[in-house]
Amino acid sequence: MANEEHLAILKQGVEVWNQWRADNPDISPDLFEAFLWGERLLGANLRKANLLGAVLTLSILSEADFFEADLSGAVLTEADLLGARLSRADLTGANLERADLTGADLSGARLFEADLNGAVLIGADLIGADLIGADLSEADLNGAVLTEANLSRASLVETNLTNANLNDCLIYGISAWNIQLKDTEQENLIITRWNEPIVTVDNLEVAQFVYLLLHNEKIRSVIDTITTKAVLILGRFTPERKAVLDTIRDALRTRGYVPILFDFQKPDNRDLTETVMTLAGMARFVIADLSDPRSIPHELMSFTEKLLSVPVQPIFCPVEAEPEPYSMFEHLRRYPHVLPLYEYKDDADLLAVLAEKLIAPAEEKAKAMRPPGSV
CATH for 263 = 3.40.50.360
Residue 334 lies in a domain: yes
pLDDT at 211: 79
Residue 46 lies in a domain: no
Residue 254 lies in a domain: yes
DSSP string, 177-237: ES-B-TT-B--SEE-S-TTS---EES-HHHHHHHHHHHH-HHHHHHHHHHHHHEEEEEE--
178's CB contacts (< 8 A; 6+ apart) are 157, 158
pLDDT at 114: 99
d(CA 188, CA 237): 47
Residue 103 lies in a domain: no
Using DSSP's 3-state secondary structure scheme, residue 127 falls into: coil
Residue 115 lies in a domain: no
Using DSSP's 3-state secondary structure scheme, residue 241 falls into: helix
Residue 82 lies in a domain: no
pLDDT at 295: 52
pLDDT at 272: 66
CA angle (215, 210, 257) in 5-degree steps:
85
Q: Where are the alpha helices (DSSP H) in the chain?
A: 4-11, 14-23, 204-215, 217-229, 242-254, 273-282, 297-306, 329-332, 347-353, 360-369
Residue-range definition of the domain harbouring residue 230: 221-369
d(CA 75, CA 96): 7
Using DSSP's 3-state secondary structure scheme, residue 319 falls into: coil
d(CA 191, CA 173): 8
Residue (of 106, 119, 156) closest to 135 by Cα position: 156
- pLDDT tens track of the chain, all 375 residues? 899 999 999 999 999 999 999 999 999 999 999 999 999 999 999 999 999 999 999 999 999 999 999 999 999 999 999 999 999 999 999 999 999 999 999 999 999 999 999 999 999 999 999 999 999 999 999 999 999 999 999 999 999 999 999 999 999 999 999 999 999 999 899 998 888 778 888 888 888 777 777 777 676 676 666 668 889 888 776 777 677 878 888 889 889 898 888 766 544 434 567 777 888 888 899 998 887 655 566 677 778 888 888 899 988 887 655 556 656 667 777 888 989 988 888 878 888 888 898 999 999 998 888 765 555
d(CA 155, CA 160): 12
The H or E element containing residue 343 is: strand 342-343
Residue 267 lies in a domain: yes
Total number of domains constituting the chain: 1
Using DSSP's 3-state secondary structure scheme, residue 324 falls into: coil
pLDDT at 269: 39
Compute φ and ψ for 213, nearest 5 degrees: -60, -35
Residue 330 lies in a domain: yes
Amino acid residing at 261? L
- The distance of Cα 247 from the centroid of its chain, to the nearest Å, equals 37
pLDDT at 351: 85
C-alpha distances in angstroms, 304 versus 270, 287, 313, 353? 20, 12, 11, 24
